[in-house]
Structure 1
Amino acid sequence: MRAIQLNRFGGPEVLEVIDLPTPVPQAGEVLVRVHAAGINFFEVLMRADRYAVTPQLPMILGVEAAGVVEAVGQGVDAQLLGSRMAAPLFMSQRPYGGYAEQVTIDADLVVQLPDSLSFEDATALMVQGLTAFHLLRQSPPDGKAVLVPAASGGVGSLLIQLAKWKGARRVIAAAGGRAKLDLSLSRGADAAVDYNNLDWPARVRDVTDGKGADIIYDTVGGALTAASLQALAPGGELVFAALGRYGLAASDLEAMIGRNQSLRGFALLPLLSPDVLKASLSELFQLAASGRLQVVIGGRFPLDRAGEAHRLLDERRSTGKVVLVP
């Protein structure tokens, strides 16, 4: 089978197409023929050794895939053969390997896809969908004005819709450029601000009657985090979910204390047991299959153009979910 291997850190060009033996499912595992593999921004950072954790090389990137079960290992129900499944590799003992034509994963982790849900949409609802889903569980938006940075991205476009569904009083999208703002509005945002404009926090306050956002779901980090504080209401909550991209100084924290604001960390994996994972994905899949949740696919690339897909994310030109289609 073909796969994309990372042998050294660097730009998108370091992603190499290689041939590997077809993996054999061990006891308790299934072999999935990959029809779509998701690309996440943290994988772009890993490729360049800019992530919070340096991976061991060589490796096959990719923590999520969706496809059809082609073989089963010992002790696995043969009725799974031919089933359309999501493969959340990030929960398995081998949490990578999705940039490939086939993957193996624990049979207890795969989740059945509704017939009307595409493989591409299923990848968008794994890492990014689960992040949006559990951000809102950790910090419920009911009755509150919320700010969603990177609102046209994979997490952001889902956060807008789920926050509205969960009863947010007002959803403000923040993104860069008219096209991304329009996409955010099309997904249900009540207002959109362009953070290419230096006064964007003032615009957030304008559309919240001068108060600012009650909750900011920050999945971006860096300099945007400090700027976001200007858009946070007194007593508001900044939920930080951008591991390794910290942007707050001690003076920012002191200012938050003075305004009775809170900083809450968010990490997805500690919240997920196998049962919670499967229940959450099943709910997200049903929402998307029924049309109540619309997934944005911002780019489809063949496996051998994985470097181009990474470049799209690296240059911040993507919207929604970017997928590989082996």
Structure 2
Amino acid sequence: MRAIQLNRFGGPDVLDIVAVPKPEPQAGEVLVRVHAAGVNFFEVLMRADRYAVTPQLPMIPGVEAAGIVEALGQGVDASLLGTRVAAPLFASSRPFGGYADYVTIDASLAVPLPDSLSFGDATALMVQGLTALHLSRRSPPGGKSVLVGAAAGGVGSLLVQLAKRAGAGRVVAAAGSKTKLDHALSLGADAAVDYSNTDWPERVRAATGGAGVDIIYDVVGGPLTAVALEALAPCGELVFAALGRYALGAPQMEAMIVRNQSLRGFALLPLLSADLLRDGLSELFNLAASGELKVINGGRFPLDQASQAHRLLDERGTTGKVVLIP
């Protein structure tokens, strides 16, 4: 079968298409013919060895896939054969391998897909959907004003919608272009600010009547974090979910202490038991299938164009979810 393999760190061109043996499902596993594989920004960082964790090479990237069950390992319920499923590889014992024609995964982790939900949309609701869902649950936005960074991206576009569903008093979207801001507004954001403008924290405060936001959901990290703090209200909370992109120093921490502000870290995987994973994905899949949650298509690429998909993410030229179609 075909797969995209990372043999060395570097730019998008280091992603090679190779022929590898088709995996065989072991006891308790299913073999899934991949119809869509999600591409995530942290995979771009990992490819360039700029992520918090350096992967062991060679590796086949891809932590989420969706497709049809084509074979069963010993002991697996025969009714799964031929079903449409999500394969959340990130929660399995082999968390990579999605950039390929086939993957295997423990049958207990294969989550059925509603017939009306596309494979591509299903990939958007795995890492990014669960991140948005659990961000909104760990720091509930009900009755509060919130700032969503990268609000037209994979996580941000879903978080805008979920925060509104959870009763946020005001959702302020931040992004880097008018097109992206228009996307966020179309998804229900109450206001939108362009963080390429130097005075954007002032515009966030203006959008909240001068008070600032109660919660900042930070999925971007880097230099923007320290600037975003200027828009956080006294006693507000910064929820930091940008693993490996820290930029807060002593001055920012001291300012937070003086203003009675709090910092909460967020990492998805430690929160996910098998039941929470399945329940969360089923909820997201059903919301999307019924039209209550909109998935933004950020680009569909053939498997052998994985480097182009990574290049698009590298250049921050995307809105929504980027997907490979084997």
TM bucket, shorter chain: over 0.9
- The amino acid across from 1:255 in the alignment is A
Does 1:257 find its partner at 2:257? yes
Give per-residue Cα distances to partners, 1:10-52, cap 9 Å, x unaligned.
Answer: 0000000001111100000000000000000000000000000
SS at match of 1:152: coil
Aligned-residue offset at 1:61: 0.1
Q: TM-score, normalised by structure 2?
A: 1.00
SS at match of 2:257: helix
* 1:11 match: 11
- Alignment map for 1:145-224 (pairs within 5 Å): 145-224=145-224
Distance 2:131 2:144 in 1: 19
Distance 2:123 2:297 in 1: 10
Distance 1:137 1:269 in 2: 15
Distance 1:101 1:186 in 2: 35
* 1:141 match: 141
- The amino acid across from 2:86 in the alignment is A
Aligned-residue offset at 1:297: 1.1
* 1:63 match: 63
Q: TM-score, normalised by structure 1?
A: 1.00
Distance 2:168 2:274 in 1: 29
Give per-residue Cα distances to partners, 1:271-320, cap 9 Å, x unaligned.
Answer: 00001000000000000000000000110000000000000000100110
Aligned-residue offset at 1:78: 1.3
* 1:31 match: 31
Distance 1:105 1:220 in 2: 30
- The amino acid across from 1:240 in the alignment is F
Aligned-residue offset at 1:151: 0.3
Distance 2:93 2:264 in 1: 28
* 2:233 match: 233
* RMSD (Å), alpha carbons: 0.4
Distance 1:158 1:136 in 2: 10
* 2:299 match: 299
SS at match of 1:56: coil
SS at match of 1:59: coil
SS at match of 2:56: coil
Distance 2:132 2:91 in 1: 17
Identity of aligned residues (%): 76
Distance 1:247 1:146 in 2: 21
- The amino acid across from 2:203 in the alignment is R
- The amino acid across from 1:15 in the alignment is L
* 2:83 match: 83
- Alignment map for 1:80-119 (pairs within 5 Å): 80-119=80-119
Distance 1:90 1:195 in 2: 31
Does 1:40 find its partner at 2:46? no
SS at match of 1:227: helix
For these two proteins, the number of residue pairs brought into alignment is 326
* 1:120 match: 120
